[in-house]
Every structure is written in C-alpha cells, then in structure tokens.
Amino acid sequence: MTASVPSEARRALEAILFLADEPLSATVLAQAVELGRRDVETALAEMAGAYQAHGSGIVLVEVAGGWRLMTHPEAAPFVEQFVLASRHSRLTKASLETLAIVAYKQPVTRHQISSIRGVDCDGVVRALVDRGLVAEVGRDEGPGRPILYGTTSLFLERLALPSLADLPPILPLLGDAGAEETAVSAE
C-alpha cells in the first residue's frame, strides 16, 4: 500500500466499502476518511490489486461511478448455491405453527400469536419476517398500537397458492380439537 495513506485509513476504507450497499465515489470515501481524493484513488487501486494478487474471494471494482466490494466472479456458483440453500432450509415446528396462525388469523399481533401458541413467539416471528414469509401489514388500534402481521406473496409462492382464499379449510386440519370446538360453539 502507498505510504501516503495510513493503515488506519485503508482499514476504514475497507470497512466502509464492506458496509456500503452501492458503489461509493472516491470523493465520498475521501471525505469519510478525511484524506485527499487522489490519495484515496491510489489506495483503492492498490487494495484492488492486493485482493487480486491474493486470490481473494472478493474483489474491489470500480463500477457505476464508484468503488464496490463484490464477490469474485469465479466464486459465483458457490455463492449462488449457498444463498439458495439457506433460503430454502426447512422451517422448524415452531415456525410452521406460527406461520399457520398468521396465515389463518391475519392480520394478527405478536401477542395474539403468543396467546394461541402458549409461548413467546417474538424470535420466531422475527425469523419469519427475515425469511420474507411474514411482513408488517399495519398497526392495531389498541393500546400501544402493536404491529399487525400477515403473510407475503413469497409465502403464497412457496405454497404454490394463487391467493389466501385457496388455503385449505382449517376445521379439517384441527382433527379432534376441531370437533371439540364445533361442539362448544353448538352449545
């Protein structure tokens, strides 16, 4: 690396580029690390060369008017396989139960889900939101205006359903519990 750019600044450049979700211009990066634009451009070119020389799985490229860290093109098949495998990993029993509650009761709050399941479901709901199967659909008018959750289009896509109206009726799925519920409501 160039002696005109301190190692702390190079480290900061790398960290900023790692976090950025779009290409960053040398001017923006220079302001961020409080150095001159030319010094930053030199450091970026050297950093890009170092990644290439080390055979790294990431590359630093100048693209769309700025600099960006990206995965190495030769790693693309492995990255794609990893991303797809993690997106399609199996849901836990708790996730499936929570997802069913959201699907059939939506819009529903976390408290309502927890009441139905009998256990705290904050982590499970968060995981379903992260996976894109459940999303915030509004706010309840009650005290504290809790978030209301519903299923997403990705949920329908994964279940190969055209719409929520195509979910199977819930009563047959309840088995003995459904028969007890019907008997109680008939009284």
In order of their start, the domains of the chain are 7-75 (1.10.10.10), 93-186 (1.10.10.10)
**Tens of pLDDT along 23-36?**
999 999 999 999 99
CA angle 110, 181, 105 (to 5 degrees): 25
pTM of the model: 0.48
Please name the residue ranges forming H helices in 20-152.
Answer: 26-33, 37-53, 76-87, 93-105, 110-117, 122-130
The more confident residue out of 90 and 85 is: 90
- Nearest-angstrom CA–CA distance, 173 and 54: 57
Share of the chain above pLDDT 70, in %: 87
According to DSSP, residue 135 is labeled E
Q: Enter the tokens of residue 100.
A: 């069913």
* pLDDT at 161 (0 to 100): 83
Q: End-to-end distance of the chain based on CA atoms, in angstroms?
A: 81
Listed ranges 3-12, 139-148, 161-170; the one with the highest mean pLDDT: 139-148
pLDDT band with cut points at 50, 70 and 90 for residue 177: low
* pLDDT at 12 (0 to 100): 95
* pLDDT at 21 (0 to 100): 84
pLDDT band with cut points at 50, 70 and 90 for residue 6: confident
Report whether pLDDT(59) > 90.
yes
Q: Helices (H) and strands (E) in the chain — how many of each? A: 10, 4
What SS3 state is found at 186? helix
The more confident residue out of 184 and 52 is: 52
* pLDDT at 86 (0 to 100): 61
As beta bridge partners, residue 63 has 66
Report whether pLDDT(178) > 80.
no
